[in-house]
Amino acid sequence: MANFADLHPPLSDHEALVAADRCYFCHDAPCMEACPTTIDIPLFIRQIATHTPEAAARTILTQNILGGMCARVCPVETLCEEACVRMSAEEQPVEIGRLQRFATDRLMAAGPQPFERAASTGKRIAVIGAGPAGLSCAHRLAMYGHEVTVYDARSKPGGLNEFGIASYKAVDGFAAREVEWLLGIGGITLELGKALGKDLSLDALTEEYDAVFLGLGLTDTNKLGIPGEELEGVVDAVDWIADLRQAEDLSTVPVGNDVVVIGGGMTAIDAAVQAKLLGAESVTLAYRRRREDMPASRFEQDLAASKGICLLFNATPAEIRGEGAVAEIEFTRTGTDARFTLTADQVMKAIGQKLGAALGLETDGRKIAVDGTGRTSREGVWAGGDCASGGEDLTVTAVAEGRDAAEDIHAKLMGEG
């Protein structure tokens, strides 16, 4: 479906060379500092410029094994590319994200993941959640020679890469291909359809394994807490996106004519844009605060606007009305008594997700409390990604946290930490 084609199409060889040429090879590069996984960006771009994209990919993947996905989904406009000195120079950053994709695509097309396993250590580690944090952690542990079992409640691995990212950011089943490629390192067993709290218990896992890493993500969604929330046609945006991502035929995905998305983050944008692309006549994205408070980047906001989505700010949902199914939604102007009503036959809630269960671990705000290396309050249990405290809820942050926890687990198990 053309509507769902690549948001940022891949660079051709020529385009990549021209784009790479613009990198200044900065000292102690600001882009690198701005990357949660601290990829050596100037080095990998120089490697592209000198016709060794495979070496560039190794530079990327050494820091970030999901560099292929991150090249597609990272909000580079608020990370590496925002920090690029070319922004000061001419407000046109080096296209770091697309160059990263160029290099990783090249290496992935050429063959298997490029890292080798060390000799077996005999240590066994359970990773809960096959999302970015869990996969990153598992790969790094496998590389060090540990035996890793990755459990996931869903029937497919990938976590939000597979179920959450907007489909035009990861076309052609990239998420699934990347997981398969990553598992090529060996030493990782995948156990799907097994949920912590149902099929697994933390006590049993800590008993059975030398270490446990939790990369559970955020499994519950926040509620609006207003009348009418139970009406038919009121859905959680994350569930709707997950259904869309798994749909064999996009025309079967239920989408209203007048869609109202409540929220201001990336999920809200992803849901709104995809609803429009699926054929909704009008899509309104309603956010309760000011534009400058919106978590979604200006790039994402502009993307939504360019697709014909109406962005509404300072709009607090008050009541959803309808006879059995949603027909309209009433808002107040945030902080005032002024009210207005929008016609809606579908309302998508994208007002944030939260931890399903804290599993008896200490929490920090809404999340599992961890220290800088991912250690939780329980001995032998690490956590990272969206379920853990610290960092933004981004794929790239999850990858960094999974990797760093793996380093700490390895050091601990090998008696160095």
Partner 1 sequence: MADLTTDFLGIKSPNPFWLASAPPTDKEYNVRRAFEAGWGGVVWKTLGEAGPPVVNVSGPRYGAIHGPDRRLLGLNNIELITDRPLEVNLEEIARVKADYPDRALVVSLMVPYDEKAWQEILARVEETNADGVELNFGCPHGMAERGMGSAVGQVPEYVEQITRWVKKHYQRPCIVKLTPNITNILAPARAAKNGGADAVSLINTINSITSVDLDNMAPEPTIDGMGTHGGYCGPAVKPIAMNMVAEIARSPDTAGLPISGIGGVTTWRDAAEFMALGAGNVQVCTAAMTYGFKVVQELISGLSQWMDEKGYGSTADFVGAAVPKVTDWQNLNLDYVTKAEIDQDLCIKCGRCYAACEDTSHQAIAMGEDRTFTVKDEECVACNLCVNVCPVEGCITMRELRPGELDPRTGMTIPEDKRTWLQHPNNPGADPLACIVRGQ
Our finding on whether 26 is near partner 1 (CB under 8 A) is yes
Cα gap 417→413, rounded to integer Å:
8
Q: Work out which of 6, 15, 30, 332 binds partner 1, going by CB under 8 A.
A: 30
Binding flags for partner 1, 80-119, as an x/- string (CB under 8 A):
-----xx-xx------------------------------
Q: In angstroms, what is the minimal distance from the CB of 21 to partner 1? A: 5
Kindly indicate which of the ranges 27-35, 136-144, 223-231, 301-309 contains the residues binding partner 1, using the contact rule CB under 8 A: 27-35
User: Is 80 or 359 the residue whose CB approaches partner 1 more closely?
Assistant: 80
Q: In angstroms, what is the minimal distance from the CB of 105 to partner 1? A: 23
Our finding on whether 28 is near partner 1 (CB under 8 A) is yes
User: Is 95 or 258 the residue whose CB approaches partner 1 more closely?
Assistant: 95
Kindly indicate which of the ranges 13-21, 100-108, 353-361, 408-416 contains the residues binding partner 1, using the contact rule CB under 8 A: 13-21
Please give the distance of CA 112 from its chain centroid, rounded to a whole number: 23
Structure-token pair, residue 237: 């945006």
Structure-token pair, residue 293: 């408070």
**Sign of the Cα pseudo-torsion (177, 178, 180, 184, in order):** positive
Kindly indicate which of the ranges 17-25, 149-157, 269-277, 331-339 contains the residues binding partner 1, using the contact rule CB under 8 A: 17-25
Our finding on whether 255 is near partner 1 (CB under 8 A) is no
| Angle, vertex CA 112, rays to CA 118 and CA 7, nearest 5 | 125
Cβ burial, residue 204 (10 Å; 0-12/13-18/19+): exposed
Kindly indicate which of the ranges 4-12, 18-26, 260-268, 321-329 contains the residues binding partner 1, using the contact rule CB under 8 A: 18-26
Which among 356, 371, 365 is positioned nearest to 417, based on CA atoms? 371
Cα gap 87→83, rounded to integer Å:
7
Which among 115, 95, 121 is positioned nearest to 31, based on CA atoms? 95
> Which residues of the chain form contacts with partner 1 (CB under 8 A)?
17-18, 21, 24-30, 85-86, 88-89
